[in-house]
């Protein structure tokens, strides 16, 4: 299967145990190329652990398998050598600590090109002109080119998240894995970040897997929702299928707390 048609991630019977606690318990899901999927569930249900497992940031328990764009990245309880290529295809966006604070926004976005260039170029700031142009175009696209020269730690959370998205574009990522990218943002900045992810998905065909605390955002921006509870998949289907009964199954009777904006 070619990498352009292979699934973003194929997760088969994956468990992850921390001491006596099972953070993931027999999870099997597949996210196709070009899909935009929300990963939801109560705090501690395993959302971040699943994203981190897909990127090979920690080994899963023996028995499960994870492939990324057709490459086996986890098998027999080990992260494989293919993880480097898989990471180069995945743009990662986190709730915080997305950018190197003391570097300019422009330099941070250029770091996305590092995987394709000898590292000394990055160390000495010797970037090819074509990459510089690409970085400025990406900053312009996400709406923060005016701040290119500004140190990342002086930017707002929303500007930093948009910078992180620009870095993923420069990296040439085929999919974005975003771990609570809007949790620290005000609603207006959050909407802009979600709209950018939707645009990358629809216009560029990038796959997106995004963990969200806000169910209303999952419903508004993602066609498909995967819900975890205590490390197990308890829902995998269209976001339109998340009725009150389902939400109570996922979050319990206090499910309205999982909405950002009050439910009408
Ligand atoms: N490094 C770790 N060491 C020990 N336990 C961990 C570690 N990381 C996660 N866990 C545990 O695994 C479970 C799942 O955590 P995880 O962060 O994946 O949940 P989450 O759904 O992303 O939660 P949240 O929405 O609060 O971010 C939790 O019980 C957590 O305490």
Nearest residue (by CA) to ligand 1, atom 27, is 43
Q: Residue 15 C-alpha to ligand 1 middle, in angstroms?
A: 13
Tokens 């802009």 correspond to 192
> Any bridge partners for residue 79, and if so which?
74
Interstrand relation of 21-31 and 9-18 (parallel, antiparallel or unpaired): antiparallel
Just give the CATH number of 9-94+174-258.
3.40.50.300
Put residue 97 in one of left, alpha, beta given phi > 0 → left and psi -120 to 50 → alpha.
left
Confidence of residue 184 (pLDDT cuts 50, 70, 90): confident
What integer is the mean pLDDT of 162-179?
Answer: 94
What integer is the mean pLDDT of 201-230?
Answer: 95
- CA neighbor of 210 nearest in space, from 188, 173, 180: 180
- CA neighbor of 169 nearest in space, from 194, 206, 195: 206
Helix (H) or strand (E) holding 27: strand 21-31
Q: Residue 173 C-alpha to ligand 1 middle, in angstroms?
A: 26
Q: How many CB atoms lie within 10 A of CB 42?
A: 19
pLDDT in tens, 19-54: 989 999 999 999 999 999 999 999 999 999 999 999
Nearest residue (by CA) to ligand 1, atom 28, is 44
Atom of ligand 1 nearest to the CA of 228: 21
pLDDT in tens, 61-75: 999 999 999 999 999
Pocket residues: Cβ below 6 A from ligand 1: 18, 21, 23, 41, 43-49
Confidence of residue 264 (pLDDT cuts 50, 70, 90): very low
Confidence of residue 119 (pLDDT cuts 50, 70, 90): low
Q: Residue 252: its pLDDT value, please?
A: 83
Atom of ligand 1 nearest to the CA of 16: 12
Q: How many CB atoms lie within 10 A of CB 101?
A: 13
């Amino acid at each position: 299967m070619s990498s352009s048609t292979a699934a973003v991630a194929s997760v088969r019977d994956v468990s992850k145990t921390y001491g006596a606690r099972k953070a993931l318990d027999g999870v099997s899901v597949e996210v196709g190329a070009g899909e935009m999927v929300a990963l939801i569930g109560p705090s501690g249900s395993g959302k971040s652990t699943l994203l981190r497992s897909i990127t090979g940031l920690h080994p899963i328990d023996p028995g499960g398998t994870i492939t990324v764009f057709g490459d086996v990245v986890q098998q027999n309880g080990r992260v494989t050598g293919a993880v480097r290529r898989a990471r180069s295809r995945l743009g990662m966006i986190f709730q915080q600590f997305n950018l190197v604070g003391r570097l300019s926004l422009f330099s941070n976005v250029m770091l996305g090109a590092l995987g394709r260039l000898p590292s000394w170029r990055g160390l000495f700031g010797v970037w090819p002109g074509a990459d510089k142009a690409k970085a400025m175009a990406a900053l312009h696209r996400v709406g923060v080119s005016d701040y290119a020269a500004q140190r990342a730690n002086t930017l707002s959370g929303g500007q930093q998240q948009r910078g992180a998205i620009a870095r993923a574009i420069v990296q040439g990522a085929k999919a974005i894995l975003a771990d609570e990218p809007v949790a620290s943002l005000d609603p207006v900045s959050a909407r802009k970040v979600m709209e950018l992810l939707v645009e990358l998905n629809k216009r560029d065909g990038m796959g997106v897997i995004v963990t969200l605390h806000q169910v209303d955002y999952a419903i508004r921006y993602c066609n498909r929702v995967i819900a975890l509870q205590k490390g197990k998949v308890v829902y995998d289907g269209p976001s339109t299928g998340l009725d009150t009964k389902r939400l109570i199954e996922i979050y319990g009777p206090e499910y309205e707390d999982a909405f950002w904006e009050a439910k009408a």
